[in-house]
Structure 1
Amino acid sequence: MTPFKALQSAPSSTELNTLADIEPPEKLSWNDAALQVFDDFQRHDPIMVSANSTLAATEKLLTSSGQRYACVTNAQHKIIGIVALREFYGRRAMQLGLQAQIPRQDVAVKDLMTPLMQLPQVEYRQLLSARIGDAAATLKMKGHDFIVIKTGDVIRGVVSSLRIAQRTGESVNIYHSASTFAEIMTAVSHKELTD
């Protein structure tokens, strides 16, 4: 057996900077590689919450971890949707609470999430040659804040409008539209609730 040697200890510090404190990430342009705005789940595990988790519990988890979205899972621990923190105080969350006659914070994330089937899904190999502008154009065209990146039937990660705005300094203007029958009926009967 190969003998191992203990690593030499560095002087102890009471506090340390992160690389981001010393070198903030450079601003990217729409022509830069889309991989630079890709949240790769092979490198960083996403926040995962059960479909029955409440908005309050999920918000606490997201806030404590510094994340802006969570992947929603079913009983078999498979990802079935994505929910963004900024949606927790939006009109739809309030409407769901009113309809169920419960406080907004008690709404289940499964009711607020965007199901995977509604999100654009792109193969990872396509992302390899895409630019940030291509990802932004996809988000705009599909009217959603997330692109699911997959390899076959395995989710590899996501590209989000939030990450693009964070890295480029420019927001992606996405116009959300009603896509299900229930959303269309709500939009027609409650015009004041639509964006």
Structure 2
Amino acid sequence: MSNFKELRTQNVSHGVIASTFADDQPLIDLSSPALKMVNNFTQKTPIRAEYETTITEALKQVSAQQSDYILVTDEHQKLVGLVSSADLQSSKITIIAERLNTPRSEVSLHDIMTPISQLKGVSMQSLSYACIGDALQTMEHQGTMFLLVTAASNEICGLISARQIAKKLHIPLHITPIASSFSQVLESIEHPH
């Protein structure tokens, strides 16, 4: 330890605990940079689960990590879809369980996920020139709650969540999902019994 020097110490017997102070971050609004709302996968690993994972198991993961979404992968860890935490708790699961003639507890992520083919993406470069309002407008126009973010190599490196924007900015959402198949239209219609 000869390479280090000893620090000068002081008497702390009359010391008091310092007051905490809020980090004075500027308020975020719709005109703030869109990059402020990107869940960057290179900075924080997103929750992932294989498509055969049950809804119950996925809900435990999402709740434990307080995430708005879970990325769905195949057996080779390739991204195949996405499920929102809201979908994991929605009546959509009961409808799908009835259609599949399976108990609700056995419905898997594969059964309720939004396939990657139906997800929309924007480049990180485009987002660097955009504001949060631009991203939200894009999601409203596309009828999607999420935008995947891509790097120059078309690698998916992040995600923007409409719910996260709404929660952070305390604004209502006006996103109506656009059905891309007849079965999705049927799922969205409530049948009277």
Question: Could you say whether these structures have the same fold, taking a TM-score greater than 0.5 normalized by the shorter chain as the test?
Answer: yes
Residue 190 of structure 2 is aligned with which of 165, 189, 192? 192
CA contact (8 A) 1:164 1:171 kept: no
Q: How many residues matched?
A: 175
The alignment's C-alpha RMSD in Å is: 2.4
Q: Please, which runs of 5 or more residues in structure 2 have no aligned partner? A: 8-19
Q: Please, which runs of 5 or more residues in structure 1 have no aligned partner? A: 9-18
Query: Displacement of 1:41 after TM fit?
Result: 0.4
Length-normalised TM-score, structure 1? 0.81
Name the amino acid aligned to 1:31: S
Name the amino acid aligned to 1:168: L
Q: Distance in 2 between matches of 1:132 and 1:48?
A: 25
The 3 A distance-change label for structure 1 pair 103 and 150 is: same
Query: Displacement of 1:162 after TM fit?
Result: 1.4
Query: Displacement of 1:4 after TM fit?
Result: 8.1
Name the amino acid aligned to 2:179: A
CA contact (8 A) 1:26 1:167 kept: no
Name the amino acid aligned to 1:139: M
Name the amino acid aligned to 1:191: I
Q: Please state which structure has a larger fraction of its residues in helix.
A: 1
Q: How does 1:82-161 map to 2 (within 5 A)?
A: 82-151=82-151, 152-161=153-162
Query: Displacement of 1:118 after TM fit?
Result: 0.8
Moved more, 68-77 or 93-102: 93-102
Q: Distance in 1 between matches of 2:143 and 2:3?
A: 55
Query: Displacement of 1:22 after TM fit?
Result: 4.7
Aligned residue number for residue 40 of structure 1: 40
Regions of 4+ moved over 4 Å: 21-27
Q: Distance in 2 between matches of 1:25 and 1:72?
A: 34
Query: Displacement of 1:96 after TM fit?
Result: 0.8
Length-normalised TM-score, structure 2? 0.82
Aligned residue number for residue 168 of structure 2: 167
Q: Distance in 2 between matches of 1:64 and 1:156?
A: 23
Percent identity at matched positions? 24
